[in-house]
Structure 1
Amino acid sequence: MAIKHILKLIMKQKSISVLITLQIAIAVTIIGNTSFISYRTLQNWLIPSHIAEQQIVNVYTRVFDKNVDKGALIERDLQSLKLISGVESVSYAANELVLATVNGRNFAHATLDTDNQGENVALFAQTPGAVETLGIRVIQGRSFYDTDYIFGNSNQDQRASVVMISDDLAKALFPQQSALGQTLYLHNNRIPYQVIAVYENMMLGEVAAYTNSWYHSAIIPEAHFSTNSQVNYLLKVSKNTDKSVFDTIENTLFEEEGRIVQQVEFAARAKKRLWDGRSTFAFIMIGISGIAILVTGVGIIALVSFSISVRKKEIGVLRALGASQARVMKTLLLENTLLAVVGIAIGLFSALWLNQYFVTNLRIQGLIVPWLAAVVALCVWLLSAIAVYIPARKAANISPAQVTKTS
């Protein structure tokens, strides 16, 4: 059957043809975007953390007695936790726990330019022991000296003067030069810190991970305790230490009155919780894709069935003129293929535009994946072909005598 003749048939049924094309385009747009987002989200499970997930322990506590001297309490806790069998190092965690956010988002700036938003960063303000606890591997520069550390009440205007940053963050902030010796500006009021070291990339802060800045982190040798109730710690335990150490940690901390221990967990558990939330979102997107496929299939079957019912006499005439069942089916399938190709092209263009809008404005992760776009296009075409096959087969079985007889 000539393409020219099929185009005439399509033009003859403009309204139905347009509806089928739009339905396919909308399906490709929805399925394409949900597939891209789901794929990119589930891919996160494969991103290496480069941390000792089963050795680093997050400890969450709250002090409910306002009369407790937090500074003295933290000092006692650090000494007590170090004495626990299996604990290799410990640090007070002022800002963030490993892959578990305590405070809000942080930014690092290479300049004081207020128009520059800076880079998302997991900022760890720590006491001595943090470098060992986090497993920091310095590749340029030096570690902190004891004299670099600042510890005290957050109401006191005391700040450290130096900072260590990850390799990824160093390249993002200072792409054309070495980060060592450069000035880095942190916090909302852009306090200056001198970069004294660059360390190997590690996935530390939850906020940095959620903004896809996987290895953007910084460590400053200052730890302030504030008027809020949070007092948290990071511990590193020996390899193959099981969860029974959690009970020892809790019992040790419970010896101090005026506070509760909320949770003790390995960083691996915090990481799983982080990805669980994202994977749930991905599966929701997959569910939406399934609904789009179902609606598209049913919609095409309904539209093609209606189209065939309108053209029943025309199909009967073709059969009376000698057209075989296979030829009738081939005509209907080719007609659908042309509509599907146009719909898929429109849908892919819409998916590309919508995807860029999501990524740019809503910070949703999900860039176009070329091979996945091809798979989506092929699947939607197969779906439309299957949806057309059912009514087309029924149309091909129409008896010429039945539709050409006069009343």
Structure 2
Amino acid sequence: MALKSVKSNKLRSILTMLGIIIGVASVIVLVSIAQGSTKNVTSRINQLGTNLLTVNTYSTNLELTEDKISELGDLNGVKAISPVVSGRVTAKKDRTTSQVSLTGTNAAYSDVRDAKVKQGRFITDLDVEYRQKVVVLGSETTSTLFGASNPVGEHIQLDGVSYKVVGVLASKGSSMGQGGDNTIIVPLSTGERLVGSTTISTVYLKGKSEDQMDFVMNEVKMKMASLYPGKSDDYGVTNQQDVMDTMSSVSETMTLMLGGIASISLLVGGIGIMNIMLVSVSERTKEIGIRKAIGAKRRDILLQFLIEAVVLSALGGIIGILSGLGLGELVSTLTSMSISFSTSVILYSFLFSLVVGVVFGVFPANKASKLNPIQALRYQ
């Protein structure tokens, strides 16, 4: 009887379910976007290097010299260390010109920053020692200057000076302004000459073990404090895991916020169900009276109207799930956003829609079950 009642008022039933459909679809799409963004950011941060510590200087009064960098590299927990100078240069190949970021570093950079070489080789210690005019290109820079051809062994001009291409990096994307594929890597000594400065303001350190990173970070901080007494405000030591934790916290807050906003639609849908069910009770007062007169118990009437409410919310939940999955795929295709569907989120949103149906269906069902059969039969 509950199903027949839903079928007999198709348009009203569809409009009633609309709030639940929109609510469930919104929860799935918004939370999936948030989770997809979280996974994407986490992946990009991991690509910047594992077990990574970064020492940055903020003042020209504090200089990271080669001797002091070596002392940092000699610490127990440090596996590898890579000083960096950076800047912007104009790269030219034939008639193609491009502004790219330049990184001057040593051979350890590929291990410290997890920079994988796709073609050719990486910078060597000999390149740094003899100030070789060699470059390793990022994948985007390679595409810009050479298209689909292999650039290894070819020459490009950096600020008018010829350099030999010895390698090409695998693509790793960019995150938080770091990394990136539109880059050129040169030996540290060559990079200092290109950017016109021998001041090293950034040093990357790779720890021997992920479990010891807090210990290594304390080691580095103590060493920096002894090397530069009273200058703690002029430098900073950051742990990659700290960045990860901060991003995770922000992402979790964003997910909860988006999920909460979408859940409001479910509540609105529940109120819609309650309103329609109350209207339905008023319309079918005489029917309720007849059923009670021929022996229907209060429990039967309560169950009938409660089932109607649950059927509406369940159907709305199923359609909402399908709509949410379809809409999520559409958003991912049109905007290139990362979407990560979660089975638990889909299940929770469906169960929540059922709970909404039960909660908001109880009041109208209870009202219907309490109707006096005599008064109901006389109702016009």
On whether the aligned pair clears a TM of 0.5, the verdict is: yes
Q: Which residue of 2 aligns with 1:118?
A: none
More helix by share: 2
Residue number in structure 2 paired with 1:25: 21
Which residues in structure 2 correspond to 1:207-226 (within 5 Å)? 220-221=185-186, 223=191, 225=195
Which residue pairs with 2:7 in the alignment?
A: 7
- 1:285-324 matched pairs, under 5 angstroms: 285-324=258-297
1:145 alignment partner, one of 124, 134, 138: 124
| Alignment CA distance shift 1:286-1:196 (3 Å) | same
Aligned equivalent of 1:272: 245
Letter in 1 for 2:83: Y
How many angstroms apart in 2 are the aligned matches of 1:136 and 1:238? 17
Q: Aligned pair in 2 of structure 1 residues 352, 135: CA closer, same or farther (>3 Å)?
A: closer
| Map 1:378-389 → 2, pairs under 5 A | 378-389=351-362
Query: 1:127 aligned to 2:105?
Result: yes
Task: Describe the superposition over 1:117-146 as per-residue Cα deviations: whole angstroms up to 9, x where unpaired.
Answer: xxxxxx882411423543667798544234
Q: Is the Cα–Cα contact under 8 Å of residues 37 and 367 in structure 1 kept in the other structure?
A: yes
Do structure 1's residue 246 and structure 2's residue 216 form an aligned pair? no
Please give the per-residue CA displacement for 1:215-253, whole angstroms capped at 9, x wherever unaligned.
x898723546479x9932212356542514214225535
2-structure distance, mates of 1:135, 1:296: 50
Contact 1:316 1:400 in 2 (8 A): yes
Contact 1:326 1:396 in 2 (8 A): yes
1: CA distance, partners of 2:294 / 2:164 = 87
Alignment of 1:8-407 (within 5 A): 8=8, 10=9, 14-15=11-12, 17-41=13-37, 49=46, 53-54=50-51, 56-63=52-59, 77-84=65-72, 85-86=74-75, 89-94=80-85, 125-128=103-106, 129-134=108-113, 142-146=121-125, 148=127, 160-163=134-137, 181=152, 194=165, 196=167, 205-206=175-176, 220-221=185-186, 223=191, 225=195, 231-236=201-206, 240=212, 241-253=216-228, 261-340=234-313, 342-369=315-342, 372-373=345-346, 375-405=348-378
How far apart in 2 are the matches of 1:203 and 1:180?
20
1 CA distance for matches of 2:112 and 2:178? 19
Q: For the residues of structure 2 that align with 1:230 and 1:395, how far apart are their CA atoms?
A: 79
Distance 1:6 1:192 in 2: 76
What value does the CA root-mean-square deviation take over the aligned residues?
5.1
Over residues 39-75 of structure 1, what are the superposed CA-to-partner deviations in whole Å (9 max), with x where a residue is unaligned? Answer: 4456569869488755x3212222457xxxxxxx86x
Structure 2: gaps of 5 or more residues:
89-94
CA contact (8 A) 1:150 1:159 kept: no
Q: Which moved more, 1:42-51 or 1:129-138?
A: 42-51
CA distance in 2, matches of 1:164, 1:42: 25
Contact 1:63 1:230 (C-alpha < 8 Å) held by counterparts? no
- Is contact 1:336-1:385 (8 Å) kept? yes
- Greater shift in the superposed pair: 134-143 or 365-374: 134-143
Q: Give structure 1 stretches of 5+ with no counterpart.
A: 66-72, 97-102, 104-111, 115-122, 153-157
- Which whole-Å CA distance do the structure 2 matches of 1:279 and 1:251 have between them? 38
Contact 1:358 1:364 survives alignment (8 Å) = yes
**What CA distance in whole angstroms lies between the structure 1 residues aligned with 2:150 and 2:298?**
74
For residues 371-396 of structure 1, what are the alpha-carbon distances to aligned partners after superposition, in whole Å with 9 as ceiling and x for unaligned?
A: 75355334423432342134213312
| 1:49 to 1:396, Cα distance in 2 relative to 1, 3 A | same
Is the CA contact (8 Å cut-off) linking 2:136 and 2:165 kept in structure 1? yes
Question: Residues 328 and 43 from structure 1, CA distance in 2 versus in 1: closer, same or farther, beyond 3 angstroms?
Answer: farther
Tell me the percent identity: 20
Q: Contact 1:250/1:261 (CA < 8 Å) preserved in 2?
A: no
Q: Which one-letter code corresponds to 1:130 in the other structure?
A: Y
Q: How many residues align?
A: 347
Secondary structure at the aligned position of 2:237 is classed as: strand
Whether the 8 Å contact between 1:138 and 1:197 is mirrored in structure 2 is yes
1:373–1:236 CA distance, 2 compared to 1 (3 A): closer
Q: Distance in 1 between matches of 2:312 and 2:80?
A: 66
SS at match of 2:202: strand
